[in-house]
């Protein structure tokens, strides 16, 4: 079989793989849809229960409802994007898709015109953006997809279009401009890498050969005029630096230097000059590299396109659920802390305020009580003592004093509640800005689960939850305290004696009446305190916080449960990918024993635990080369054995304290290798072994 026949056979295999993996992707996504629908039902139940339990406040109901509504909207948006992707993938089932991706004016259209023998009508001049839409062409049984370039002024929409097509491509020709490699290249490198797309870097040497003189000089000495070694080496080093920052292995970076304009001009020329220009362009080297990629790895790339694309959408949803759960858990910590303070405050209010109210009443009445003796002396023989007493009482303004005291109490309680409200808002703001970070001391499975391998844009769904309540001071007026009393008539000879006795009796009577009035007012105030302060302000505040904490906890648990189910689907996708690639390599099914657990960061590494005998190191190496990942398998033994195997030659000692906590001793020089870039390696090891790993270094 010739090389070209192998190439065509590989394309046939690609079409077969595409059909089966497209169906598998649909099934995986359907299962995730069911999980999310179940989540929506569960959240509705929580919100409905909470709404019936909250104490006369609409803000919390709206806040809790917004959690459900925003998650629903978030998933609808993801579902729409996912369905759009599936629709486009279905259109391309019969093709191996090659994407031209690069900065604006990097030569994408020129290359496409050259390999498809176009007329050059879409090749840009100067700084204009020529490719504004996605254009697709067939060449050599491949689908060539030319996309808008990134990095142009006001070209955000172009960049988004190009990124959408990235997901559909099997191989990416990443076009670089020999004029310069800018930081915008790093941004897009990072994006491509997170989508785990195989890259062929193509450096287009920008030297205008339209004039005959320039062509003659270029053809005479290509190394001096076009392919200057020091220029190319400088750009390659710059690219390796950017690629390393994006997470790629710089040692795996290779660049094909071409002159796209020469390839296009060769199609327009005739005879020897056409051949010379074609050879000068280096386009055959690029095309051979692309054809070799299809011949050797085409079926694997097609499988990865479908399964990794599905994994991308599933992981995006999973990470959103994890992120929201983390945020809610952080918010719950704040609310539960406040709940403890509210409980203490409630006890203090219910213990101290009744005493204070009684003291306020006593204080308001004290001047009146002290004046009784003088009043009786002055009015004992008055013809209208009751009227005089009423006038006398009004001088002390007792109703106003008591009313003012109650208003002060209401304002103090309201201020305290408003302070709690303010703290809730502040804690919410803190939570919304909360970012998962790692200090590098201890690593566990949760860290791996939070690796955002796809760069998902996480948006907040709890922005409208706040501990809000506006309390209006309760105003009420104390009833008048005028007391009617009678005066004795004195007709006997013992008038002085009777007058003295009458004064004593009247003083006593007035004091008793005042005390009765005080008691009634205190009783009325206690009832008011119980109904309006305790039942109307304090306890509802605590009840709302209790309901909020309970609801957030239940929502968080639901998010965690559904995330776990979606994570299980992601595990199945990775296991399927492993078996599919093994089948493509060996032509045999079940070359890998049953996989009990797998952790994978696409484009970086894949670790899995096997249940059974497996000693095929050659297959593991082939899997790693095909998937472009570090593929490692371990037996389902104890934690110490698994960690020792995964860190063979790097770890001095492994100490297991219990089934969930491990300490590893590492030489200082090996700490970086043990942790890995962005802590990815140690997070994966901790996740695979389901434990927490602490590093001890000398």
DSSP label at 679? G
Classify residue 190 as exposed, middle or buried by CB count within 10 Å of its CB (0-12, 13-18, 19+).
middle
- Please give the Cα distance from 72 to 22 (Å, whole number): 26
Both structure tokens of 425: 């808002």
**How remote is the C-alpha of 394 from its chain's centroid?**
66
Work out the number of other CB atoms within 10 angstroms of the CB of residue 44. 13
pLDDT surpasses 70 at 223:
yes
Pick from 198, 201, 200: nearest CA to 301: 198
Q: What is the pLDDT of residue 439?
A: 54
For Cα atoms 526, 527, 531, give the angle at the middle one, nearest 5 degrees: 120
pLDDT tens digits, one per residue of 35-50: 999 999 998 898 888 8
Both structure tokens of 204: 């287009």
What residue has token string 């199609």? 267
pLDDT tens digits, one per residue of 64-111: 787 788 888 888 888 888 888 888 889 889 999 998 888 777 778 888
Pick from 494, 416, 451: nearest CA to 247: 451
pLDDT surpasses 50 at 460:
no
- Please give the Cα distance from 52 to 188 (Å, whole number): 49
DSSP label at 382? -
User: What separation in angstroms does the CA of 388 have from each of 375, 400, 507?
Assistant: 9, 20, 15
Q: What is the mean pLDDT of residues 10-21?
A: 94
Task: Considering only CA atoms, give the Rg of the chain.
Answer: 40
What residue has token string 């994978």? 600
Residue 56 banded pLDDT, cuts 50, 70, 90: low
Q: What is the pLDDT of residue 206?
A: 83
Partner residues linked to 609 by β-bridges: 597, 634
Residue 166 banded pLDDT, cuts 50, 70, 90: confident
In this structure, of 71-80, 338-347, 381-390, 472-481, the range with the lowest mean pLDDT score is 472-481
Both structure tokens of 461: 């769904």
Q: What is the pLDDT of residue 441?
A: 65
């Amino acid at each position: 079989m010739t090389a070209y026949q192998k190439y065509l056979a590989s394309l046939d295999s690609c079409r077969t793989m595409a059909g089966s993996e497209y169906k598998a992707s649909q099934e995986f996504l359907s299962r995730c849809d069911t999980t999310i629908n179940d989540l929506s039902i569960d959240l509705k139940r929580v919100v409905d229960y909470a709404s019936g339990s909250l104490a006369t406040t609409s803000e919390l109901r709206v806040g809790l409802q917004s959690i459900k509504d925003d998650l629903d909207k978030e998933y609808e948006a993801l579902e729409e994007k996912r369905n759009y992707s599936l629709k486009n993938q279905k259109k391309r089932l019969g093709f191996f898709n090659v994407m031209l991706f690069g900065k604006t004016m990097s030569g994408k259209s020129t290359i496409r015109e050259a390999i498809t023998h176009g007329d050059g009508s879409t090749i840009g001049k100067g700084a204009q953006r020529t490719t504004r839409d996605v254009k697709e062409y067939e060449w050599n049984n491949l689908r060539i997809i030319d996309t808008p370039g990134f990095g142009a002024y006001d070209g955000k929409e172009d960049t988004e279009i190009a990124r959408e097509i990235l997901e559909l491509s099997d191989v990416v020709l990443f076009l670089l401009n020999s004029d310069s490699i800018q930081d915008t290249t790093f941004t897009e490198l990072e994006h491509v890498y997170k989508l785990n797309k195989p890259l062929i870097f193509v450096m287009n040497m920008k030297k205008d050969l339209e004039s005959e003189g320039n062509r003659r000089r270029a053809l005479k000495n290509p190394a001096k005029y076009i392919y200057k070694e020091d220029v190319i080496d400088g750009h390659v080093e710059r690219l390796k630096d950017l690629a390393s920052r994006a997470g790629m292995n710089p040692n795996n970076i290779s660049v094909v230097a071409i002159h796209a304009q020469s390839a296009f001009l060769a199609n327009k020329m005739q005879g020897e000059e056409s051949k010379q220009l074609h050879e000068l362009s280096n386009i055959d080297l690029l095309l051979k590299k692309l054809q070799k990629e299809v011949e050797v790895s085409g079926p694997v790339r097609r499988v990865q396109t479908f399964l990794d694309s599905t994994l991308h959408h599933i992981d995006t949803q999973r990470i959103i659920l994890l992120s929201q759960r983390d945020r809610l858990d952080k918010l719950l910590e704040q609310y539960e802390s406040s709940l403890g303070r509210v409980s203490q405050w409630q006890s203090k209010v219910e213990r101290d305020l009744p005493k204070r109210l009684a003291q306020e009443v006593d204080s308001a009445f004290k001047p009146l009580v002290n004046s009784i003796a003088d009043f009786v002396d002055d009015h004992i023989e008055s013809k209208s003592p009751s009227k005089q007493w009423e006038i006398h009482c009004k001088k002390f303004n007792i109703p106003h004093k008591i009313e003012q005291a109650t208003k002060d109490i209401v304002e103090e309680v309201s201020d305290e509640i408003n302070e709690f409200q303010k703290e809730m808002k502040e804690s919410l703001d803190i939570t919304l800005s909360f970012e998962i970070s790692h200090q590098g001391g201890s690593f566990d499975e949760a860290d791996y689960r939070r690796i955002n391998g796809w760069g998902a844009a996480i948006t907040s769904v709890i922005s409208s939850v706040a501990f809000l309540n506006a309390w209006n001071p309760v105003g009420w007026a104390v009833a008048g305290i005028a007391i009617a009393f009678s005066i004795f008539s004195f007709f006997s000879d013992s008038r002085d004696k009777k007058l003295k006795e009458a004064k004593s009796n009247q003083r006593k009577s007035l004091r008793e009446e005042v005390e009765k009035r005080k008691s009634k007012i205190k009783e009325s105030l206690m009832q008011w305190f119980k109904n309006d302060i305790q039942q109307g302000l304090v306890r509802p505040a605590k009840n709302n916080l209790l309901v909020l904490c309970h609801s957030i906890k239940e929502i968080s648990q639901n998010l965690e449960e559904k995330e776990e189910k979606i994570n299980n689907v992601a595990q199945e996708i990775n296991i399927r990918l492993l078996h599919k690639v093994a089948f493509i390599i060996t032509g045999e099914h079940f070359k890998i024993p049953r996989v009990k657990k797998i952790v994978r960061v696409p484009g970086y590494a894949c670790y899995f635990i096997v249940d059974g005998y497996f000693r095929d190191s050659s297959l593991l190496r082939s899997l790693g080369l095909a998937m472009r990942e570090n593929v490692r398998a371990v037996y389902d033994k104890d934690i110490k054995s698994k960690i020792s195997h995964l860190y063979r030659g790097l770890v001095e000692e492994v100490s297991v304290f219990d089934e969930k906590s491990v300490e590893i001793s590492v030489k200082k020089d090996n700490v970086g290798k043990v942790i890995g870039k962005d802590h990815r390696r140690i997070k994966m090891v901790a996740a695979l072994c389901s434990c927490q790993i602490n590093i001890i270094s000398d």
